[in-house]
Amino acid sequence: MSHIDNIPSTPGKFKMDKSPYIHHRLRWHSSSIAKLTFWSFIFLGLILVFFFRSPSTAPSSTSPSSDLSRRSLRTNSWGGPTWEKRVKSSAKIRSRNGISVLVTGAAGFVGTHVSAALKRRGDGVLGLDNFNDYYDPSLKRARQALLERTGVFIVEGDINDMALLKKLFDIVQFTHVMHLAAQAGVRYAMENPSSYVHSNIAGLVSVLEVCKSVNPQPAIVWASSSSVYGLNTKVPFSEKDRTDQPASLYAATKKAGEEIAHTYNHIYGLSLTGLRFFTVYGPWGRPDMAYFFFTRDILKGKSIPIFEAANHGTVARDFTYVDDIVKGCLAALDTAEKSTGSGGKKKGAAQLRVFNLGNTSPVPVSDLVSILERLLKVKAKRLIMKLPRNGDVQFTHANISLAQRELGYKPTTDLQTGLKKFVRWYLSYYGSGKKSAQ
Q: Omega into 388 within 30° of 0, i.e. cis?
A: no
CATH number of 68-430: 3.40.50.720
Burial (CB count <10 Å: 0-12, 13-18, 19+), residue 359: buried
Spatial distance between the Cα atoms of 169 and 67, rounded to a whole number of angstroms: 31
Closest CA to 358 of 303, 313, 413, 308: 413
Neighbours of 117 (CB within 10 A): 17
Mapping DSSP to helix (H, G, I), strand (E, B) and coil, where does residue 193 land? Answer: helix
Do residues 291 and 372 make contact, with C-beta atoms less than 8 angstroms apart?
yes
Spatial distance between the Cα atoms of 431 and 435, rounded to a whole number of angstroms: 6
429 is catalytic: no
What confidence tens digit (pLDDT) does each residue in 246-302 have? 999 999 999 999 999 999 999 999 999 999 999 999 999 999 999 999 999 999 999
Q: What is the pLDDT of residue 312?
A: 56
Dihedral sign for Cα atoms in the order 133, 135, 136, 140: negative
Strands (E) in 41-142, as ranges, are 100-104, 124-129
Show me where the domains of the chain are located: 4-49, 68-430
146 membership: H or E segment, kind and range: helix 137-150
Q: What is the pLDDT of residue 390?
A: 57
Confidence check: pLDDT of 58 > 50:
no
What confidence tens digit (pLDDT) does each residue in 338-378 have? 999 988 889 999 999 999 999 998 999 999 999 999 999 99
Burial (CB count <10 Å: 0-12, 13-18, 19+), residue 100: buried
* Options 188, 196, 229, 250, the catalytic residue: 250
Beta-strand pair 352-357/272-277 = parallel
Q: Please tell me which of 154-168, 181-195, 381-395 the model is most confident about, judged by mean pLDDT.
A: 154-168
Cα angle 377, 380, 383 (rounded to 5 degrees) comes to 170
What confidence tens digit (pLDDT) does each residue in 208-257 have? 999 999 999 999 999 999 999 998 888 899 999 999 999 999 999 999 99
Q: What is the pLDDT of residue 68?
A: 42
Q: What global pTM score does this model have?
A: 0.81
What confidence tens digit (pLDDT) does each residue in 304-335 have? 988 776 665 677 889 999 999 999 999 999 99
Of the two residues 16 and 215, the one the predictor is more confident about is 215
